[in-house]
Amino acid sequence: MGDTTDQSSSIPSNVDEKWNKQSQIIDEDKPRRQKEIDEWLPITGSRNAKWWYSTFHNVTAMVGAGVLSLPFAMSNLGWGPGCVILVLSWVITLFTLWQMVEMHEMVPGKRFDRYHELGQHAFGEKLGLWIVVPQQLICEVGVDIVYMVTGGNSLQKVYKTVKKDKDPIKLTYFIMIFASCHFVLAHLPNFNSISGVSLAAAVMSLSYSTIAWTASLHKGVQPDVAYGYAASSTPGTVFNFFTALGDVAFAYAGHNVVLEIQATIPSTPEKPSKKPMWRGVVLAYLVVALCYFPVALIGYYTFGNAVEDNILISLEKPEWLIITANMFVVVHVIGSYQLYAMPVFDMIETLLVKKLHFRPTLILRFVSRNIYVAFTMFVAITFPFFGGLLGFFGGFAFSPTTYFLPCIMWLAIKKPRRWSLSWIINWICITLGVMLMILSPIGGLRSIIIQASTYKFYN
């Protein structure tokens, strides 16, 4: 009996020992599986980017279709307020971008590779996710929708200029043509794999910006030019002013992908990624200044308040130059679309693999990314209101993530002394950003409603 008791008492201990060994194997396997998933995901898949990658990625992210609407924004803002807002936006967004670059590796041994990871560190695991992810998704998906419309519009302008048909092809088909290339490019695996596309896009953005302001300068000031507000009523002037604020906000919209761009740069304690990243950002912002200020000021000086919401429409001749500029726009927004889509792909694939436990396969990537491209194409075809979309998304989505959310994170993490210079500057940025977020969507929404009143869906 004694032997039986000894054997039975040893069974649980053997089971426990076996279970502990299995648990240990599973625990040891977790980091390896996590590493494999991180190497598969778009943001953390490659960390060998050079400092100049950050230059053209940031130029591509920031200098987009928004630059072509800046003369129109100036016409609704006026000379004084327009110049102040343009310069102030450039300074504030450069400051908040510096904050994000600095915060990327503020915890020793850890990198905040995604915007929402920094938000979770600043506001807590759950709250940070809910604050950042919805805003970032609105920004990135919103940009991709607007760029679908922009690409379609530019292709249509090229067609109309060349063919001069009385019965032109509908915009819907041009959006579909533009979307077709993204069903291919969307399957490039990570940020570094789209560096060639991004470089081409950055060169194109500088090129068509230069065409826009040099052609305006060559055309000369129009005989009947007027610089007063174009709206016939005070409410119209006020609403147009609000819309213009959104246009400017949209033009400075690169912050949503800056941490993801920095995540591709190698980093060590001796050589942190913030140094090469900041070098690239400074160069990118010089390019931004060369694109934005001449286009906005010379375009408005040439056409006054008669300027169109896309300056290339106002520049009707020479035809070959307008065709070239519009094709440059198409190439640029192809690159910009991919740049803003990559963090969205990362979120979708992280959800599918880490939360829903799908296997990280090419088929999963193929299906999920094609669905996303099809979704943005469908929304763009349904709501192709280019000018209004810029104002609405610019104010509602980009103001928080670009103008004041980095400042709030800085205050939450760094905790500068009250009434110190850092504390005052951050609160000024927060105040201006919140005002921009509240006011500009009002004008953008009004523009959408006015244009939608005469628009027939899918016609």
Give the residue among 452, 448, 377 at the shortest CA–CA distance from 173: 377
Burial annotation 82-91 (CB, 10 A radius, 16+ → b, else e): bbebbeebbe
**What pLDDT is attached to residue 8?**
45
- Per-residue model confidence (pLDDT) at position 235: 84
User: Which of 198, 188, 196 is closest to 63 using CA atoms?
Assistant: 198
Per-residue confidence of the chain (459 residues) as pLDDT tens digits?
Answer: 445 444 444 445 554 555 455 445 444 556 777 778 888 888 887 788 888 888 989 998 888 767 888 999 899 999 999 999 999 999 999 999 999 999 999 888 889 999 999 999 999 999 999 999 988 888 888 889 888 988 998 899 889 888 877 667 888 999 999 999 999 999 998 888 898 999 999 999 899 899 889 988 888 888 888 888 877 788 888 888 888 887 787 788 778 889 999 999 998 888 899 999 999 999 999 999 998 999 999 999 999 888 887 787 788 777 888 888 889 989 999 999 999 999 999 999 999 998 898 998 999 999 999 999 999 999 999 877 655 665 566 667 778 888 899 999 999 999 999 999 999 999 999 999 898 888 878 877 777 777 766 666 665
DSSP string, 364-397: HHHHHHHHHHHHHHHHHHH---HHHHHHHHIIII
Query: Tokens at residue 400, please?
Result: 């928080």
Spatial CA neighbour of 148 closest among 317, 457, 377, 336 = 377
Q: Which amino acid is at 198?
A: S
User: Amino acid letter at 418?
Assistant: R
For the entire predicted model, the pTM comes to 0.86
**Which amino acid is residue 303, in one-letter code?**
F
DSSP 8-class letter at 282: H
Q: Choose among 299, 271, 148, 277: nearest CA to 212.
A: 299
Question: What's residue 185's pLDDT?
Answer: 94
**229: phi then psi, degrees, rounded to nearest 5:** -70, 135
- Measured from the Cβ of residue 416, the count of other Cβ atoms closer than 10 Å reads 14
Q: What angle do CA 96, 260, 251 make, to 5 degrees?
A: 50
